[in-house]
Homo-oligomer: A and B are copies of this chain.
Amino acid sequence: MSLNTFGHVFRVTTWGESHGPALGCTVDGCPPGIALAEADIQPWLDKRKPGQSKFTTQRREDDLVEILSGTFEGRTTGTPIQLMIRNTDQRSKDYGEIATKFRPGHADITYHQKYGLRDPRGGGRSSARETAARVAAGAVARAVLAQLAPKVEITGYMVQMGPRAIDRARVDMAEIGRNPFWCPDAAAAADWADYLDVLRKDGNSVGAVIEVVAKGVPAGLGAPVYGKLDSDLAAAMMTINAVKGVEIGAGMAAATLTGVENADEISMGPDGPAFSSNHAGGILGGISTGQDVVVRFAVKPTSSILTPRRTITVAGEEAQIVTKGRHDPCVGIRAVPVGEAMMACVILDHLMLDRAQTGGERGKIG
């Protein structure tokens, strides 16, 4: 991964700040001949866009995507696809105080330390607006996967808000679209609505855990050492704003298991190997097994809160800060479609890398 590019052969370069005229991305290496129009991308952006409920920032952005290159008559040509999204609601007045004071827990201070200057109108590149470009890229990846690996199905959802986790026994995937939290447990969603309302009115915020699952991923994607599928997934998720932890399958809890417990026993199923469980999260030795690829990541609470916090100014003076402006009380909500997009890009990139090296013909079992 380069500074603003990710991917090996399906490569995405994003650009744009929260308060500039536009943002977007270049998708390079896309296979040719794939059906692709703005209408294939827009629904995913709509899913991510702000202001859809009282639980997300009230900034209003239509997030309309324009395809500026790389397609002809509704098909990809194999050349770079430029996707641009205009910023329309960049009310920079709201951000006055943060020009000179650093928000605790925010990138303000490190930007200043690294670059010696920063755009004080907003978060610049550290703003969650950057993730719109990823979602657009992810939509392209999905369109390609639909043709090259049509069984792949990617779904993200929230499994924990603050200390409140879903009950796995109550999970119903059909619930995900029915509440503002992308939560598969209706009871948890109702509980979170009350919980977040209180925090929001308090000028506080809270963290969350997101899970993204890719079903139908062919066995054999990834590579043993630094090209591990899980390593690229971990990197991809960790690049999302505010993410502080990433897990594959059993994740951190794998530490608590014995070898007997952790072994996903293998049998022959109708379509090849079948497994008694999925502690591996669909990846063994960096390579996909054909099981569901399962990734989870933790999103910290927004640092832009109304409760005063101690800080310093650029001049080094001690100060207090309260962040007004329009912020998400739980940024984890909007991270769901972003996590899905990253999964789509990584899976496709490895599918293409794999066919480069092996031709994509799997080693037969049985």
- Asked whether A126 is an interface residue with its Cβ less than 8 Å from the other chain, the reply is yes
Kindly report which residue of chain B lies nearest to residue A297, judged by CB atoms: B252
Supposing A2-B8, A309-B263 touch, asked if A258 and B363 sit within 8 A by C-beta, the answer is no
Interface size class of A (residues with CB under 8 A): 35 or more
Residues on the B chain within 8 Å of A304, using CB: 259
Please measure, in the bound complex, the distance between the C-alpha atom of A298 and the C-alpha atom of B253, giving whole angstroms: 8
- Asked whether A17 is an interface residue with its Cβ less than 8 Å from the other chain, the reply is yes
Residues on the B chain within 8 Å of A102, using CB: 266, 273
Shortest C-beta distance, A295 to chain B (Å), equals 10
Shortest C-beta distance, A11 to chain B (Å), equals 6
Q: Contact flags (1/0) for A252-293 with B, using CB distance below 8 Å?
A: 111111111111111110000101100111011111111000
B258 touches A162 (CB 8 A): yes
Supposing A162-B255, A260-B305 touch, asked if A4 and B226 sit within 8 A by C-beta, the answer is yes
B251 touches A298 (CB 8 A): yes
10 contacts between A and B (CB under 8 A): A4-B26, A14-B80, A22-B82, A24-B82, A105-B264, A107-B285, A111-B224, A204-B259, A244-B248, A247-B298
Residues on the B chain within 8 Å of A237, using CB: 234
Please measure, in the bound complex, the distance between the C-alpha atom of A264 and the C-alpha atom of B287, giving whole angstroms: 38
Please measure, in the bound complex, the distance between the C-alpha atom of A307 and the C-alpha atom of B160, giving whole angstroms: 35
Q: Contact flags (1/0) for A186-206 with B, using CB distance below 8 Å?
A: 000000000000010000111
A111 touches B252 (CB 8 A): no
A363 touches B113 (CB 8 A): yes
A110 touches B365 (CB 8 A): no
Supposing A251-B244, A255-B207 touch, asked if A117 and B298 sit within 8 A by C-beta, the answer is no
Chain A 165-204 interface residues, beta-carbon cutoff 8 Å to B: 199, 204
- Asked whether A339 is an interface residue with its Cβ less than 8 Å from the other chain, the reply is no
